[in-house]
Amino acid sequence: MLLVELQGDTMYELRDRLAVLVDEIRDQLGLAFAALTTVQRRQRDMFWRLSRRVIPRVYQLKGNARALPFVEDFRVPLQALPAVLSEIQAALQAEQITAFVFAHAGHGQLHVRPFLDLADESARRRLRGLSERISDTVWRHEGTVSAEHASGLSRSWLLPRQYGEVWRAMPEVKRLFDPSNRFNPGKITGASLQTADENLRLVTPQIDILGNPGTTPKAAEPQQEYQEDEAEPGRWQLTVLQNWQPDSSIDRAVRQCNGCGRCRTTAPEQRQCPVFRVLPTEEATPRSKANLLRGIITGELSPETLQGDRAKAVADLCFHCHQCRLECPAAVDIPKIASEIKGQHVQVNGLPVSEMLVCRFDAWAPLLSRFPWLTNQVLTGRFSRWLLERFLGISGARRLPLITGNTFMRYAARRRLTRPLRQSGRKVVYFTDYFANYHDPAIGRALVEVLLQNRVGVYVPLKQLYSGMSQISHGDLKTAKKLAVNNVRLLADAVRQGYQIVATEPAAALCLKHEYLNLLDDEDARLVAENTHEACRYLWDMHRRNELTLDFRPVPTTVAYHQPCHVRAIDDGNPGPLLMDLIPGLTVHAIDAGCSGMAGTWGMQKKNYRNSLRIGWPMISALRDLSAPLAASECAACRMQIEHGVDSAVVHPLKLLAYAYGRMPEVGNLFM
């Protein structure tokens, strides 16, 4: 693909120049089979964004071979570019190597990245020879091996040959300005410069990985998480706790992280990594989790490291917002890697009592909901809150959601929604999850009212359990898998009967669509994932098919909308504000100010309270500046953070839809 941008004094001149270029390249020279031109700014920007996404997409290719940047970023005179490309192609063909080529052709600059598998010893041996051969080609045509991104360690050993006598002066210049040798000591101008095949990242597994479909272990029946191989002393075994498919086995997953450092970004247009933004240490970066697990797999660290508190502390710096998985150029599933590290630690050491009680609070909820007056006294009383902070680690500064005795399940039973439907046509099974059942049943009621308004049948299975997202985030994978088995079996049967699955809590939808696939390797889990929808997405898709009733009454108010991280993780659109925009009179302002910082139970803990507010402060500040009378978000934890930091009512978008349909008039009390 060749991308060319032209300029002209008039639109006529610009169109004429584009037509001449297309005629010459495509029609006369036959160098292209198709051409697309535009004079629209939006399309032009889209083309440039496409070009910037080329290298990240290459990182995501499957397989062991990776596009390695050890000979890239060289520049030659423009007239020599065709000859240089031909000679480089010949060098690659001689070595039987495929390469990816990306060029700033107008400047004579080339990025050449050969695909090599560093686990293959023969591929590692070819690194230096290929680097020398391509560099000689560049120098022969009066080019340079470092044009745009400087030299780096992979090309610094070539610099003495490139600069000749001038190179001798460079260490002296550095010594004048850095007499103490504090800046990059031993790098670039050091006494010995590493070659392209030295100091390579270890990628070959040095332990037997058991329970992983992508590997063939030597021992068949290990009884412990770690044990030494009797036939080969010193070789360890690691039994993985999650489902790692052959094309994305655990060793391939950690290799996929190339250490580019994109996860260290603090750019406002990206969300990764919320924790690193307030704790700018290497341990807080998403790549540190991949580095830790790769170190164990390649033998740099003992598998017993996973039993220690240090590894757990590094993994606990991930609260599973999944933003790194979305924005990583190589699409590394860091949350899954962090879950494996946490799960390995918990399997050996168990959960601390405080974490066990916090992440299993939903197991206590059925009993607590029978005595809501007593439970809410505990949740609000000063002395009881001191006890919760002292023994459970729940911050006393947090306003905890009250529990209700009139749960959504009881409401559903009264409405006879717990009986399977016999009707044909559109029908959904509502996966309620914890918060909408025990804390805010009005969310579930709003969904039911909106669906019934649109003649969609609703079924609420009584035997469903909570999603288990809190267990996954704390590393209690054993409990999470039990929950997944129950829910998948129940929901898969419903899908086979013609239902679609709808969840109002984004974390629950994320579990069904993504996390359960990491815990279970069966067709039912895949069936559930393919037929699960976050509630706003389900309704917006109905609207796009002209199936959504639009008889809304006006709602004359302004609402500020925050998109939760888990909605971004499962949906590349933004259906919440789009749905609210359908309501006459309602002004919707989407706030794009990063993560709320709550992250479920993570933000409730005393040890995380300050960092939770620091992460969410840009969002809180943006909401305060807007001063809207009402805020909206699909995530229960995000709504808690907004209520904590902003003096305005917060609702789920479904409540506004139900109110606009005239079905839940009490919602109007929040802003009227």
Single-letter amino acid, residue 386: W
Residue 585: the pLDDT is: 95
For residue 158, the SS3 value is helix
Q: Please answer whether residues 306 and 344 qualify as being in contact, where contact means their C-beta atoms are separated by less than 8 angstroms.
A: yes
Residues 576, 581: Cα–Cα separation, whole Å: 9
3-state secondary structure of 318: coil
Residue 74 φ/ψ, nearest 5 degrees: -110, 160
Cα–Cα distance for residue pair 150/148, rounded to 1 Å? 6
* Predicted pLDDT of residue 217: 37
Backbone angles phi, psi at 661, to 5 degrees: -80, -5
Place of tokens 């001063």: 627
CA atoms within 13 A on the CB side of 581: 10
Per-residue pLDDT, 647: 80
- Find where tokens 């090599």 sit: 116
Q: Are 216 and 210 in contact (CB under 8 A)?
A: no
Structure tokens at 158: 């070539």
Cα 554 to Cα 427: distance, rounded to the nearest angstrom: 28
Residues with Cβ within 8 Å of 307's Cβ and at least 6 positions away in sequence, in order, are 226, 344, 345, 348, 349
C-alpha 238/C-alpha 114 separation (Å) is 32
Q: Give the Å distances, CA to CA, from 127 to 91, 115, 132, 134, 151.
A: 12, 11, 9, 11, 16
Angle between helices 286-297 and 334-349 (to 10 degrees): 60
The single-letter DSSP state of residue 327 is: H
pTM above 0.75, yes or no: yes
**Which residues of the chain, if any, have pLDDT below 50?**
214-231
pLDDT digits (tens, 9 = 90+) for 127-177: 888 989 999 999 999 999 888 877 777 888 888 888 888 888 888 898 899
Answer positive or negative: Cα dihedral of 594, 600, 601, 604: positive
Give yes or no for a contact between 481 and 520, defined as CB atoms under 8 angstroms apart. Answer: yes
By C-alpha distance, which of 493, 570, 571, 492 is closest to 528? 492
The percent of residues in the chain predicted with pLDDT above 90, rounded, is: 59
Cβ count within 10 A of residue 621: 14
Q: Which two three-digit tokens encode residue 182? A: 């504090």
